[in-house]
Amino acid sequence: MVTGIVFAPLGLVLVFTAAITPQWREGQARLGTAAPGSLLRLGAKGQVVGGRSGPVEALLLVRSDGLWESCLQVEHSELRQCWPVAGLYQRDPRVRLAQGLVLTSLFLCGTGIVLACIGVRCWTDIPLRGVAASGGLLVMMAGLLSLTALGVYTHNLAKLGVNPNSKVTNPRLPRLTLHPAGSLYFGWLGSCLQVLGGVALLFSFKRPRCHTCPSRPELPACPACRTCPEISNKTDMDVYEVSC
């Protein structure tokens, strides 16, 4: 139970961090040239505008996409522009599937953690094992859903937002080589922790086996210790007070 209570919230935080950050995939490209010290700014949706004549050097642009936000940044500078996902990328059914699975995963994991906390009942001696295990089942399902979302996104990473029927290319636009970024790794780690935490909580269904009273084998010794002569007559028993 302790393992599940620790792993489940940690996994939830990591998956939530991955969901709100725009670094699910990244690509770099050199676009145009600019004079050292020239004034540049990023326009709407990341267009680089501005500048003046002088010695020139290539601009290295870093493009990143997430589930709900895209960003464009000029490397080694403070020029950065972010905007909500739009266009073909936003309408891509695989992106929408990943969005829905991640949101469902976050909801199930949060609900499972609440049930697990109620079931573990660290402030009492006896936990509600069925409630804790039910929470673990929800947490495990949340981890599997987020793993599915991450798998779908990673498998189609380079195809998301690309129209397969379009054969028109603009030579003035840079060609990005997209690769997985940091948010995906946060998501993978968080999802694995959710699955492990949920499986650990599922073991709450298994009740610990108590020793039976020798003279009354039909009763477990735990609730029947006062009626069991072999136990109640012992004078050298140690008594411990247990608290969480």
More confident residue, 145 or 49: 145
Contact of 17 with 182, CB cutoff 8 Å: no
CB 160 within 8 A of CB 153: yes
Please report where in the chains the tokens 């990328």 appear, as a residue. Answer: 89
More confident residue, 147 or 37: 147
Write down the pLDDT at residue 121. 79
More confident residue, 18 or 242: 18
Cross-strand partners of 26:
64, 179
Percent of the chain with pLDDT over 90: 37
Tell me the pLDDT of the chain averaged across its residues.
77
Cβ atoms 103, 5 nearer than 8 A: no
Q: Which of 57-66, 79-88, 214-223 has the highest mean pLDDT?
A: 79-88
DSSP letter for each residue of 88-132: HHHH-HHHHHHHHHHHHHHHHHHHHHHHHHHHH-TTSSS--HHHH
The whole-number pLDDT of residue 176 equals: 66
Domain ranges for the chain, please list them: 2-31+48-205, 210-244
CATH annotation of 2-31+48-205: 1.20.140.150
pLDDT top residue among 222 and 105: 105
Burial 45-70 (b: 16+ CB within 10 A, else e): ebebeebeeeeeeebebbbbbbbebb
Question: What is the tens place of the pLDDT at every residue in 153-202?
Answer: 999 888 887 776 655 454 454 566 788 888 999 999 999 999 999 999 99
Within 8 A by CB and 6+ apart from 129, the residues are: 119, 204, 205, 207
Which string of b and e fits 99-127 if b means at least 16 CB within 10 Å?
bebbeebbebbbebbebbbebbeeeeeeb
Question: Whose structure tokens read 């489940």?
Answer: 8
> How do residues 201-236 score in pLDDT, each as one tens digit?
998 877 666 555 555 555 554 544 444 545 444 544
Threshold 0.85, pTM exceeds: no
Q: Once rounded to an integer, what is the mean pLDDT over residues 101-127? A: 89
